[in-house]
Structure 1
Amino acid sequence: MITWRRVTGNDFPLLRHWLAQPHVARWWNHDTSVKGVERDFGPVARGEEPAEDLLVLLDGRPLGLVQRSRFADYPAYRDELAAVTEVADETMTLDYLIGDAEQVGRGHGPRMIRALVRATWRDHPYAPAVLIPVPLANRASWRALEKAGLCRVAEGELEPDSPAAGRAHYVYRATRPTRPRAADAARPGSG
C-alpha cells in the first residue's frame, strides 16, 4: 500500500542518502551535504515555504519523495512553463523520485504518481490540473507518467534541474475529473 507523510528534519539523512544515489543524482542536482539538504528541504519541513515535501511509503517502509506545489507560489517557474503550455495559477506540479535503486522498475513510480495526483484533487480543491515537466532524456520518468494516466500536452525547452538532463522537456497533464451532475447520473444510459 502506498501512503505518505510530510518530510521532517529527521528524514534528512535518508534524503541525503537517496539524493547521492546515481539513479537519483543524474536527474536531481542537489548538494547532498548536511547543510545543502537542510537549505533545500528545511524551509518546507518547517512550514516556511508553501510547497509540500512528502515521504512516500510502501507498506510502511520509505520508498521515495514527492514534492508538490502550486505554480502560483512559484511565479518564475510558472512563467517559464507558461512559455510552453497554459498554466493556471492554481495548477499543481509534482516532482518525484524513488530512493532505493532496487525498487526502480517495479511499477512503484506510476502507482506513487497516480496516488498523489488523486490525493491532489482532495487536498487542493481549486486545482484544475497537475502539470509535470520532465526531461526528454528521462524516458523512465515520462513513461511512469504515461502509465499513471497523464497525457503529454507540450514539448519545449526549459531550464533543467540537472545539467545532464538537457533543456528539451515534455509536459504531462492530469485534469481534475468532473463529477456528473445529479440529473445526468439519474438518466438511463448515463452511467
Structure 2
Amino acid sequence: MRFTFRPTTRNDFPLLRRWLSTPHVARYWVHDTSEAGVEADFGGAVDGTEPSEDFIASLDGRPVGFIQRCRISDYADELAELAALTEVRPTTITVDYYLGEPDVLGKGLASRLIADFAARCWRDIPDATDIVVAVTESNPASWRALERAGFRRVASGLMEPDNPRDDRMHHVYRLTRPVLADGAGSARAAGTGR
C-alpha cells in the first residue's frame, strides 16, 4: 500500500477546512479554518507565490491526508531556529504533514506517508541532500512516525511551538538522501542520474 500525491488546488480547500477542524489535527495545526483563513494559509502555494509546495495524500484514490515541503532556507525564522540546533544546508528541505481522516489513524500509516513522500522528494528535487523536521516533544506519535520512516533524531532544543499550549521543547529529525553504489564502485545519490 503506497500513498499517491497530487498538488493541492482551491477545490481542496473545503476538505482542508474540515481536516484542520478535526480535534486530532487542530491539536498541532493551529489554523484559522474559515474560508478566508484557509485561503490566506494555502492560497500562495496553489498560486506559486509561496515557496512551499502542498499536496493531498491519497490511499487507493481516497484523499486521507496533507503534506507540504519547502527548502528551509526560504523561511528565515524557521531557518534561524533550526540552525541553532543542527546543521542546515541550502539544500535541506523540510516537510509537515497530517492524516486528516480519523478512520486511518492508529494503523501505522503516518510513517508510510512520510517515507513515500520522502522518496518523491528525492525524485522531484535532485539537489536536496536531506530532510529535516522539528516536532514538539508533546507529539510522540509524530516523532515516532518519523523514526519508523527512517529519520534519526539529531538534536533537541527550544523552538516556538505552533500551539501556544505546547512546551517549547522540540526534537529534530533528519533523513539523508540515500546513496547507492554503482558498478564502478563510486557512490551516487539515489533518484539522480536518470
Structure-2-length-normalised TM-score: 0.92
Give the alignment's Cα RMSD to 1 decimal.
1.1
Structure 2: tracts of 5 or more residues without a match: 187-194
* Number of the residue aligned with 1:71: 72
Partner SS for 1:95: strand
Partners of 1:5 and 1:177 in 2: how far apart? 23
Aligned to 2:53: 52
Deviation at 1:181, TM superposition (A): 4.0
Tell me how far apart the structure 1 counterparts of residues 183 and 160 of structure 2 sit (CA, whole Å): 45
Alignment check: 8 A CA contact 1:18 1:24 kept? yes
CA deviation after TM superposition for structure 1 residue 79, in Å: 1.3
Runs of 4+ in 1 over 4 A off after TM superposition: none
Deviations 1:68-126 (A, max 9, x none): 11012112211111001110011000000000112111111000000011111111111
Aligned length: 185
In structure 1, stretches of 5+ residues that fail to align are 186-191
Whether the 8 Å CA contact 1:7–1:53 is kept in 2: the answer is yes
Residue in 1 that maps onto 2:132: 131
**Residue number in structure 1 paired with 2:10:** 9
Q: Is the 8 A contact 1:135 1:169 kept in 2?
A: yes
Partners of 1:164 and 1:59 in 2: CA distance: 36
2:164 paired residue number:
163
Q: Which moved more, 1:81-90 or 1:175-184?
A: 175-184
Q: Give SS of 2:184's match.
A: helix
Moved more, 98-107 or 176-185: 176-185
Cα separation, 2, equivalents of 1:40 and 1:183: 48
CA distance in 1, matches of 2:184, 2:9: 46
Alpha-carbon distance between aligned partners in 2 of 1:166 and 1:100, rounded to the nearest angstrom? 26
Separation of aligned partners in 1, 2:137 and 2:80: 20
Higher normalized helix content (fraction of residues): 1
Query: 1: CA distance between counterparts of 2:116 and 2:101?
Result: 19
Distance 1:13 1:180 in 2: 46
| C-alpha distance in structure 1 between counterparts of 2:92 and 2:29, whole Å | 22
Greater CA drift, 162-171 or 25-34: 162-171
The aligned runs of 1:34-45 (5 Å cut-off) are: 34-45=35-46
Query: Take 1:112 and 1:148, find their aligned partners in 2: how far apart are those partners?
Result: 9
Q: Which residue type is aligned with residue 111 of structure 1?
A: R
| In 2: Cα distance, 1:165 partner to 1:145 partner | 19
Is the Cα contact below 8 Å between 1:24 and 1:99 reproduced in 2? Answer: yes
AA in 1 matched with 2:109: H
